[in-house]
Chains A and B, each alone.
Chain A
Amino acid sequence: MLLQFYKGTIQLQGQYHIPNTSWDERSHTYRAQALYYREIITYLKKSDIDYIDDVLHLIPCPELHFSVELRDYQKEALQMWLKDKRGVIVLPTGSGKTLVALKAIEAANCSTLIVVPTLDLVDQWKENLKKLYVSPETDIEIGEYTGRKKQLQAITITTYDSAYINAENLGNKFKFLVFDEVHHLPSEGYRHIAEMCASPYRMGLTATYEREDGLQFMLPRLVGGKVYEVQTTELTGEHLSEYEIKKIKVEMLPDEKEKYAENMKIFKNYIRANHIRMRKPEDFQKVVYRSGYDPRAWRAVKARNEARKIAYNSQSKIEELQKLLQLHRNDRIIIFTRYNDLVYYISKRFFIPCITHKTDKNERTEILKKFKTGMYTAIVSSQVLDEGIDVPEANIGIILSGTGSLREYTQRLGRILRPTEKKAVLYEVISGGTAEIRTSARRSRKE
């Protein structure tokens, strides 16, 4: 048999029909998803079938060593993974998942593609890899394959989006695949990344294995099953700091209330008239779907969004924020809000440095650096700090708005829960008598 990689698939020429392959009339060969490369080779070996393996065209790789000292639970996680060099490690945010991955890369000692959700994480991984790489002879160049840069090296970092678009060309160049925040992988598109890569070694990292849509059942096929898991509670007090949640309910200003009620009424009337019950987020999606053909639904959705915006952006929240800022003059504060507009408003109103996904990279680095050194004592940000960005330690978190998803909640908590001398406090500022209460309540219950 001759095995060749073709655009995210493996083409097999020969007489044998091997499991996981299908006949392709278009090329007059057998064909398999690249994902099954390891299984196919195992099968061929076991069955004593002669074959020529021309699948992997790996990027030449130097000896890989990282100066990392693992904690006990990290060592355990690594050991479990090394048994099959496949599988997902579940560790809470802030517990050093990256370090486990670096040691795994060292153990595998081969060309590696690291897939991460955001450009921020690309930068952060790059920095960590460079910082911790040790070798007597050479420096290591870390590759980046993203929308802004296309450079392949023995260790290359890419985003889920770029990897999805380019999987058919990247799929045979790396022996090892690392998926950071692997809970993204089962999404309909991203799945192809795992399917179109032949890489025999795979690792997934996440703090939240479960997905709300239940698609985590695909992970065992795509990267291997869960090989190690530690819950947040098991690590609290040992490696993560304790924290306290304080919910603050604020009343909207009278005119805001009026506008809010007006808009909510339009929405509620529509719901009632059409006998729709709002229980899950998907229920709202149904209304959005209806808005495609029903003008009244369109107006209802518009009104609801307007109402939410009023509640999220309520001036009384700004006043509450002002009070909290006065109270924590001497603390280190990170403020989260969902709307960029609100971030910019807060930044200009209180002169607090802000970071959004649009913030220029140099400016962001400078802001984070100054926050680290203590020159800045507060930062306001929208959702870009969500996943795994290296945020300097803070002991006060203020959430001015939230989307109510379980994952976001834990990861945002993780940002703040870094050991400092002071006990951490997370404030959640919500508008009273609005739909927002329900979002917040739903999250806490699941927690």
Chain B
Amino acid sequence: MFSRALLVTRKRRPYITPVYIHPEETGLAEKVITIYEKGKPKGDIDEETLSLETHSTFRVVRGLSELMRRRTHFEESYTVNPQKVRTYLYEKGFVTSEEERTSLLLKASKEFDVPVEGIETSFWADREDYQIVASIDDIPASDLVRYYNLSLTQTLLFDALSLEFTTSGNYQEIFRMIKFLGLMYEIQSEGDNFSVRVTGPASLFKKTKKYGTSLAKLVPKIMKAPSWKIKAQIETEVAGEPRIYIFELSDSKKGFFPEVLEDTEQFDSAVEEHFVKRFSSLRKDWEIKREPTILKAGPSVMIPDFSLERRGKRCYVEIVGFWTPEYIEKKIKKIQNLNQKILLCVNKELQCTRRDFKENADVILYDKEVPMKPVLERIRKIELEQLQEEKGKLSLTDIELTEDVTLLRNIAQVHNVGVETAKEILQTSDTGIVVGDTFVKNSVLEEIQKRLENLEDMRLSSVKNVLDEYGLNEDVLGKLGFEIEWKTLDLENAVVKKVQSGLE
């Protein structure tokens, strides 16, 4: 963040945007970086910075230099303690002629046992301008430019009246920051998409720039999300009048800004971490997402810990560990205001009852770990619901079967339903039967039956060769009225026998 004086913008009604430097155009940044050299006095740095300035670049140069200055450590350097020198000279009373001055300097030189020159140079050596560069935190020019762009963006936002954003993640951190900064928000949602409009409490009474600095602080948190978009109303003076312009920015310009290292997955608690591990190993067909979205809960927002998703069906999970009574009270209120179903896993120690959470919540109480059984039961319920829905949507006549033998999962994929759904529907068909994970046409079954009846070598291995030709396995034998007789555990000794007439 810079002072407003360093802001460079371009305005094209109704838009305003900072004039960014492309991270590959590092010429100016490199020049500024070379000014900062170990051992150089601050005053010299200022002067050299000044000499780099031209009409079109002076703000940019100062901005870049400001960023370098923050990475530089300065130190004082002198032969005699400056304050002692000054006090000594001041106490002798002021001088009003060159002669008086010279003789006093000589006295001081004797007193401090240094040449007159040393007295003169030490006199102001503790002043900021005379401090010396002790160390510099190095930075590549392209990164300096990126930090410059970020600072410029934040400086523009100092004059923001409101900020709107959408992101695809990092909700917890963003909303915690909003709360920490004492800002307020409104959510506008449309289906799965939503945008958040951030203002301050007093924005209600009049448009104010009071919250600009806070809004600026929010930006790096927003930029941490995998994808993001911001839009701000900026108050700016045009021809002597205050006007409102719009500033827009999105992750399409990601390369212009410092790269934010995404936090390695950090869980709020071990309970949450175990929940993820256990659930994902048990149900690989379900996807588990952390901080999946934000949910509107009355005027405020709730960020569920997880969502469990499968083919558009979704279940939110919130794990409520141990916290303060106020926290629980707030959470209960939020959940009561929620217009979404949510699975709540509540720590038994919290002394809440299911009734506290009203009908929108499905509560599982837990002790040390969230028990998987009730979770899976909930999931099964959703699966059954989905099965019913899909069965209602798809009928047997919709399914076109051209192949002799078809894999159920291919049919499921084509019609965007579950394998289970496809199976249940095809079981009602009279043109064929479901065997294992395939659907086989009657005509094919008859053909196989005939071939097997005429087969001389009835050892399992040779029967399997026939079945292989059709892409089937021995599961189909039962349907054809055959049975495998195991003499030993050896496959070679197993024989296939006819037990009944087979296909009716």
Contacts and interface: CB of A to CB of B under 8 A. Distances in A.
Given A27-B184, A322-B96, A351-B101, 13 more contacts: A22-B204, A22-B205, A31-B201, A33-B202, A168-B182, A169-B182, A189-B210, A295-B55, A326-B96, A350-B95, A351-B95, A358-B127, A377-B93
A182 interface: no
A348 B94 contact: no
Contact of B299 (A22, A26, A168, A195): A26
Interface string A346-376: 0111111100001010010011001000011
B38 to A, nearest CB: 24
A8 B202 CA distance: 7
Contact of B201 (A168, A347, A353): A168
Contact of A344 (B55, B124, B182, B210): B124
B244 to A, nearest CB: 16
Given A28-B298, A28-B299, A344-B124, A192 B202 contact: yes
B443 to A, nearest CB: 67
A31 B95 contact: no
A351 B298 contact: no
A7 B96 contact: no
B22 interface: no
A24 B204 contact: yes
Contacts of B104: 351
Interface of A: 6-9, 22, 24-28, 31, 33, 165, 168-169, 189, 192, 195-196, 291, 295, 298-299, 322, 325-326, 329, 344, 347-353, 358, 360, 363, 366-367, 370, 375-378
Given A9-B201, A350-B94, A358 B128 contact: yes
A26 B83 contact: no
B217 to A, nearest CB: 12
A325 B94 contact: yes
A373 to B, nearest CB: 11
A353 B204 contact: no
Interface stretch (B84-92, B166-174, B311-319, B381-389): B84-92
B256 interface: no
Contacts, number: 86
A8 B94 contact: no
A254 B296 CA distance: 76
Contacts of B87: 366
Given A192-B208, A351-B95, A352-B94, A298 B201 contact: no
A353 B90 contact: yes
A367 B87 CA distance: 9
Contacts of A28: 298-299
Interface string B199-222: 111101100101001000000000
Given A28-B299, A344-B124, A7 B90 contact: no
Contact of A375 (B86, B91, B95, B123): B91
Given A31-B201, A33-B202, A192 B210 contact: yes
B237 to A, nearest CB: 8
A351 B55 contact: no
Given A7-B201, A298-B55, A358-B127, A25 B186 contact: yes
A348 B101 CA distance: 10
The 8 A-B pairs at the shortest CB distance, nearest first, are namely A7-B182, A295-B55, A9-B201, A298-B55, A351-B89, A353-B90, A7-B201, A326-B96
Contacts of A326: 96
